[in-house]
Amino acid sequence: MIPGETQIRGETGAAVSSADGVPLARLFSAAFTALIDGLHEQLAVRGWPDVRPGYGYVLLAARGHASSITTISQALGVTKQAASQVVDAMVGSGYLSREPDPTDARTKVVMLTERGHQLLAVVEEIYAELEAGWAEVIGARSVARIRADLTRVLLAQHGGVLPELRAFPAGGSARPS
């Protein structure tokens, strides 16, 4: 075993070394799920019980600028009709507003409300706390290294720009096999 490795249980329940090649996609998926579950548990505790997991993609798509239903449907990986239903629910909860599009009076754009901005601030606080929990396990330097390495890989794969987040990868499921 390499120093710092741990013994884990594989899919069959057999003990394997953490270096035995569990695909990164599975590890990233499990880590993502743990972070999102932790986020939503903390949101509920802090008085935000109505926030659904898909809301984050919409909030990020609308952060800093008006967004169209088309942009939001692409971020969610759903039809425009489905995206419109999510937006309607978020408008009803006060996270978003629909405003006339300044470039096309026939359409409306989606914008974050003050409550939506407050929610994003709380989400960032919770993520910092969850990452601090990781740092307790692997150390702050390791967490910083993971962030730096992932950023470097993503920038290299996307022409020097971090890609927009999407709920589902192009053409498929959000969960790797």
Tell me the β-bridge partners of 108: 100
Q: What pLDDT is stored for residue 18 in this prediction?
A: 59
Residue 176 lies in a domain: no
Q: Which of 77, 90, 145 is nearest to 120 (CA)?
A: 90
Buried b (16+ CB within 10 A) or exposed e, 156-168: eeeeeeeeeeeee
Percentages helix, strand, coil for the chain (3-state, rounded to 5) are 55, 10, 35
Residue 31 lies in a domain: yes
Q: What mean pLDDT comes out for the span 138-163? A: 96
Distances 110 to 39, 83, 138, 157 between C-alpha atoms, Å: 24, 11, 40, 30
| pLDDT at residue 85 tops 70 | yes
Token pair listed for 79: 């039809």
Supply the pTM of this predicted model: 0.79
Given pLDDT bands bounded at 50, 70 and 90, which one contains residue 164?
A: confident
Distances 32 to 152, 155, 161, 162 between C-alpha atoms, Å: 19, 19, 21, 17
Distance CA 155, CA 150 (A): 8
Residue 165 lies in a domain: no
Triad 173, 175, 177: Cα angle to 5°: 105
Residue 61 lies in a domain: yes
Number of residues that make up the chain:
177
Residue 99 lies in a domain: yes
Residue 166 lies in a domain: no
Residue at token pair 């390495």: 149
Residue 76 lies in a domain: yes
Structurally, how many domains does the chain consist of?
1
Q: What pLDDT is stored for residue 13 in this prediction?
A: 62
Domain span including residue 75: 24-157
Q: What CATH number does the domain containing 50 carry?
A: 1.10.10.10
Q: What mean pLDDT comes out for the span 137-148? A: 97
Given pLDDT bands bounded at 50, 70 and 90, which one contains residue 7?
A: low
Q: What pLDDT is stored for residue 167 in this prediction?
A: 78
Residue 2 lies in a domain: no
Q: What pLDDT is stored for residue 64 in this prediction?
A: 83
Distance CA 50, CA 62 (A): 19
